[in-house]
Amino acid sequence: MDLSDLVEASDIAGLLRHVDLRVKDRDWAEVLETGIQCRAAIERGKQLGGVTQYVEYRMALDAPAPLAASVVEEGAGRSTLGPLWEVMASTHSWDDLEPWLEVGRVRTMVAHERALRGDPVDPGEADGSPLVTPLSPQDWEPRYPPAEYRPDGADFPTPPPVNGDALELGQYSKSLEDIESEDALFELVRPWVDQSNGAAGIVAIEGSAEAAVTALGASKAVGAVVTFEIALAHMAWAAASGGAYGTRRGNPVGRSHAWYAAATLLDLDPEELPMARERARWLLWRSPDQIAGWELGLAVEHDGLAWALYAHDRVDDATDSV
């Protein structure tokens, strides 16, 4: 069947094979035409949205930089494995992409992503950025494992796991209302809750990090005190993720939310974050009952105050850790 016949038959499997073959042949004109015809068919009521998303994804992933940049627009690819700017930036260098990216959010996100992957990027590319982070990783920062996109899937590596022991949970005397800090912590896992199956609990108290875990209602927990860098890596991973069904936000966005949350808790400006190594006690923990899915347990202690976050999400029938 030719392309028109596949579209009229709403042959989704056939159309996906057609795209794969045209990508293999580097026939980008035909790949683009597939997307054009499928979008026109959608307006006639055909259910081909998945095919158009796949066309955009493969163009971002595999097409030469000028063509890849032409399909990566703000808001495109909402149902793909990750934001199309991150997909494109995973396989194209900044030098290749920079001439083809218009000034705007997509260009800024690609600049941040390529800088995190080691490309030299002019710091001026961060001017006007909605992110609180500088473009390039700082000497004191952890490594943020990059997303790896493939035609048939993607890998989102997690930071190294923390091997903890059973915690001695403390008691607390007073809960606090700290809306700004609680909002900053919730933002780390918002897609898990708002767009997926997840749930999150957050508290602020007078007391220790362990007491804050108790204040969340935990009767037992496994965890360990960690360095600020390790805590930041886990915070950034969570904030980059969409959880089981939410929209992935990407590493630059996750890193920015992690910086902002840490700075907010400790009442620091983002550029002062290296002080967090000495000014706070960081605890990563988990529930012994959570055996699969996405999970983030964090507690922070500073100057007699403490905050705790516990969030989890999972695929409906998850049996293996993600």
| Angle formed at CA 103 by CA 258 and CA 59, multiple of 5 degrees | 85
Q: Name which of 208, 202, 203, 205 is nearest 175 in CA terms.
A: 205
Q: Residue 201: enclosing H or E segment and its boundaries?
A: strand 199-206
pLDDT values of the chain reduced to their tens digit, one per residue, 322 residues: 799 999 999 999 999 999 999 999 999 999 999 999 999 999 999 999 999 999 999 999 999 999 999 999 755 556 678 999 999 999 999 999 999 999 999 999 999 999 999 999 999 999 999 999 999 999 999 999 999 999 999 999 999 888 889 988 888 878 999 999 999 999 999 999 999 999 999 999 999 999 999 999 888 899 999 999 999 999 999 999 999 999 999 999 999 999 999 999 999 998 899 888 888 999 999 988 776 689 999 999 999 999 999 999 988 754 333 3
Strand, helix or coil for residue 159: coil
Q: pTM of the prediction? A: 0.92
Say what the pLDDT of residue 78 is: 62
Looking at residue 143, its amino acid is R
Q: Are 283 and 294 in contact (CB under 8 A)?
A: no
Q: Which residues 6+ apart lie within 8 Å of 289 measured at CB?
A: none
